[in-house]
Amino acid sequence: MTSKIKFQFLILFLIAFSINAQEKAVPVFKDGEAQIVEAFNDPEKWIRTDLWVETTFDSDGDGKLDRMHVDVTRPAQTETEGLKLPVVYESSPYYAGVAGNAPGLFWEVKHEIGAKEKPRTHVEVQRRGVRPIISNSQVKTWVPRGYIVVHSSSPGTGLSDGAPTVGGDNESLAPKTVIDWLNGRAKGFTSREGNETITAFWATGKVGMTGTSYNGTIPLAAATTGVKGLEAIIPVAPNTSYYHYYRSNGLVRSPGGYLGEDIDVLYDFIHSGKEENRARNNKIIRDTEMANGMDRMTGDYNDFWAGRDYLNDMKPMKAALLMSHGFNDWNVMPEHSYRIYKKASEMGLPTQIYYHQNGHGGPPPITMMNRWFTHFLHGIDNGVENDAKAWIVREDDKTNAPTAYKNYPNPDAKPVTLYLEAGAPKAGNLSTDKSKSKGEETLVDNYSFSSEMLAQADYTNHRLLYVTPVLKEDLHISGLASITLKAASSKAAVNLSVYLVSLPWTEGRRAKITDNIITRGWADLQNNTSLSKSTPLKPGKFYEMTFDLQPDDQIIKKGQQIGLMIFSSDNNYTLLPKPGTELTIDLEGTKITIPVVGGEDAFKKSVNNVQKIFD
């Protein structure tokens, strides 16, 4: 072959190679976001695989290391063209179904505080289907954009081995092991019991996790292990502390919508794993560890709850954190995200937080999530680390159009302390004037009246209400309100419920709770000096207690009044003792501090006209 022919052959080869290379599908980025690639967007060509990853623990006590059921969905090009892609990963206890709200599942709440409770009825999950069932919730969003999507069932659920511990160590180590497998550091198998191994040859090793509620808790759980390869997480409405979910400042308090639920109820609700292992799991986890640790008698914080508080485990965390929550989420309350976001920021981790005005769930806009994963998983320099730290959906805006702020709470928010002026059984005044805060006022506990009824009542002895003057201008609240109460009970224990509301109450078919609930909080006066040790109250003796209400960011419209409502049993959240307990408030020893953007000047301007400010 002559040199000329060799050269022509080389040119033809290079052209053919170039054409073939151009035909290969690769992720595409525009404006800092991964774009949908047509070659990745054909579900018929996606490769779907079920496998089991072997962990380092045996949480069901059967003598074998637990294996987690994993589902993988990836573009065909990861097989045919050797394409390696990052992973978006979601783990859950819910994929195989749940127990449902069976009769007797929840604890009976109509009894005295601290009384011995009647046993509740235990239920079993009836698992859905016989084949591997796992979610498609992330697949349609991320696979077309150049990601591989992985799902796994958490321990003791679905086709995963082990026992659900509801926040125990195995629920952190299980997703860690899956990430280790994606990075070649753990073993994967093609079957639950077999020895044929399988590798993640198609993964770059970079992993991002996301999910909502329990599925949003697991990304944080994995991140607290410091596992290498978990680059970014986007938890949506995560439960970051099971104490904060089932207790409040020493008080036994249910999550909104689930009166009588506790951690052992959730255990029963999700326990969909091997039927032959359930009795052993029940004995070890529910009937021993949980029964001995959850303490519904006092509601105190203890080692059991400390071990299920992810704030205590954050030191090894390295993953970039984008959190999302609703200010009116009264199931997993907004403090859950705030406390973790605050700590992660203090640790110097990349952080952003997205809050909306609705209830449970609600991820950030896809653009925010896309930019987050594009930067931290694909390595694209899109400047996301320089974006605003906080994004708040204002009251009348769409959830995909948040307003950017320097941080949360708003850096311009300053504490404004308000004092109470007597006015029961109607309403007293709430103002910055401490001189009129004198005397005592008493309410009578009666769970028959809902918080909504009490807030709307013109006249009732079942709550105390203190209101500001009518706002002349909008007032922006951002952060945590804190209340100090000096109170006495006619019994050795009493529920303490505190709401901050806007009045008058909105009525009509379009009215929603977000129109009037600013924030709320609950506490057990027996824990006035210690969260971990409650002391029975001496009837008639006054005790002082300070605690935070739930974080909020809300603009109270002019024409409204801010009302502080103090009452006892909350029939949507607390235990419900026999009506009649008297709760007396010492007004001089009671105050509430609210975070107002612009501070006291802004507050005074909103409750007075301009002329009076300068008088």
Characterize the bridge pairing of strands 542-548 and 552-556: unpaired
- Among the listed residues 440, 402, 447, 401, the one whose alpha carbon sits nearest the alpha carbon of residue 424: 440
Residue 125 to residue 45: CA distance in whole angstroms: 34
* 238 in Cβ contact with 338 (< 8 Å): no
Residue 332 to residue 235: CA distance in whole angstroms: 12
* 237 in Cβ contact with 332 (< 8 Å): yes
Q: Which residues contact 214 (CB under 8 A, 6 or more apart)?
A: 92, 93, 94, 239, 270
First to last CA, the chain: 103
User: Which of 244, 325, 336, 360 is labelled catalytic?
Assistant: 360
Residue 259 to residue 313: CA distance in whole angstroms: 29
Q: Going along 394-494, which residue ranges are E strands?
A: 403-405, 413-421, 428-431, 440-444, 464-467, 475-479, 482-489
User: Which of 92, 154, 213, 248 is labelled catalytic?
Assistant: 213
Catalytic residue flag (residue 329): yes
* 391 in Cβ contact with 368 (< 8 Å): yes
Q: What is the Rg, in whole angstroms, of the alpha carbon atoms belonging to the chain?
A: 28
b/e per residue, 106-134, with b = 16+ CB within 10 A?
bbebeeebbeeeeebebbebebeeeebbb
Residues in the chain: 615
Q: Which residues contact 431 (CB under 8 A, 6 or more apart)?
A: 418, 419, 421, 468, 469, 607
Helix, strand or coil, per DSSP, at residue 111: coil
Beta bridge partners of 235: 211
Catalytic residue flag (residue 213): yes
User: Which of 313, 329, 552, 586 is labelled catalytic?
Assistant: 329
Residue 412 to residue 430: CA distance in whole angstroms: 23
Residue 265 to residue 354: CA distance in whole angstroms: 30
Residue 301 zone, left/alpha/beta (φ > 0; ψ -120 to 50; rest): beta
* 114 in Cβ contact with 491 (< 8 Å): no
Catalytically annotated residues: 213, 329, 360
